[in-house]
Amino acid sequence: MTEDITDIISIDELQETLQVGKNRAYELLNKQVIPAFRIGRCWKIPRRGVEEYIVRQAKLSANPWK
């Protein structure tokens, strides 16, 4: 459990992981598609939330007719 809590990534790491630009990364965070929170101006993004987002997106694209 502690590993999940401390495994936080930055906006730059999110961009690299998803291979998206800064605007798209901020859009996903602001629309709460990927769970995250802010401390001041800095986004704190749990890696687990990003992994879950990837799995959800993979399931959607694997079944386009459902």
The DSSP letter of residue 7 is -
Please state the rounded mean pLDDT for residues 51-66.
81
Mean pLDDT of 27-55: 96
Residue ranges of the domains in the chain? 2-62
Task: Give me the pLDDT at residue 37, please.
Answer: 96
Query: Measuring CA to CA, how many Å separate 36 from each of 29, 61, 62, 66?
Result: 6, 24, 26, 29
The total number of residues written for the chain in this structure = 66
Tens digits of residue pLDDT in 15-40: 999 999 999 999 999 999 999 999 99
